[in-house]
Amino acid sequence: MTISDYRIEKRADVGMIGLFAQALVAIALAFIASGLLLTVLGFDSVAAFDALRKGAFGTWRNVQGSLVHAAPLAFTGLAVAVAFRARIWSIGQEGQLFAGAMLAYFFTTFLNLPAIITVPLVILAGALGGGLIGGLSGKLKTRFNVDVIVSTVMLNYIIAYLLSYLLTSRIWMAPDEYYLQTDRIPQEARLPNLWRGADLHLGVALAVLAIIVLHVLINRTTFGFSMRAFGGNPVAARFKGIEPRRMIVIVLTLSGALAGLGGVVQSFGVDFRLSQTFLYGYGSAGLIVAVIAGLRPLSIGLVAFIFGALAKGGLFMQVMADVSSAIISAMQAIILMFFLVTSVLFQYRLRRVDRDV
Partner 1 sequence: MSELFTQAILVSMFSATVRIAAPLLLVSIGELVVQRAGIWFLGVEGSMLMAAFTAYFASVASSSLYIGLLAGIVMGIAVHLSMAVAAVTLKINQFIIGLGINLLASGLTLFLYRESFKMFGGEVPTIRPFETVALPGLSQIPILGEILFNQHIFTYLAFAMVGVVWAFLYRTRYGLEIRALGENPKALDTKGLSVSGRQYAALAFGGTMAGLAGAVLVLALTDRFVPNMTNGRGWLAIVIIIAGNWKPLPILLAVLVFAFLEAFQLQAQGIGFNIPYQLLLALPYIGAIVAMMGLRWRSEQPEYLGVPYHRE
Distance of alpha carbon 131 from alpha carbon 137, whole angstroms: 10
The Cα-based distances of 1 to 4, 352, 355 in angstroms read: 10, 15, 8
Nearer to partner 1, 193 or 275 (CB): 275
Residue number with CB closer to partner 1 (55 or 203): 55
CB nearer partner 1, residue 81 or residue 331: 331
CB of 142 to partner 1, least distance (A): 12
Tell the smallest beta-carbon distance from residue 283 to partner 1 (Å): 10
Q: Which is nearer to partner 1, 43 or 268 (CB)?
A: 43
Sequence-separated (6 or more) residues with CB below 8 Å from residue 200: 64, 67, 68, 193, 194
| Rounded-to-integer distance, Cα 57 and Cα 46, Å | 16
Binding residues vs partner 1 (CB under 8 A): 41, 89, 91, 140, 144-147, 149-151, 153-155, 157-158, 161-162, 164-165, 168-169, 284, 287-288, 291, 322, 324, 326-334, 336-337, 340-341, 343-344
Task: In whole angstroms, give the CA distance from residue 198 to residue 201.
Answer: 7
Note whether 135 and 249 are within 8 A (CB): yes
Nearest to 244 by CA among 255, 233, 254, 253: 233
Minimum separation from the CB atom of position 279 to partner 1 (A)? 15
Q: How far is the CB of 337 from partner 1 (least distance, A)?
A: 5
The candidate with the shortest Cα–Cα distance to 218, out of 206, 228, 208, is 228
Minimum separation from the CB atom of position 355 to partner 1 (A)? 27
Nearer to partner 1, 124 or 146 (CB): 146
Rounded CA separation 233/139 (Å): 21
| 275 burial type by CB count under 10 A (0-12 exposed, 13-18 middle, 19+ buried) | middle
* Closest distance to partner 1 from the beta carbon of 287 (Å): 6
Q: Which is nearer to partner 1, 187 or 277 (CB)?
A: 277
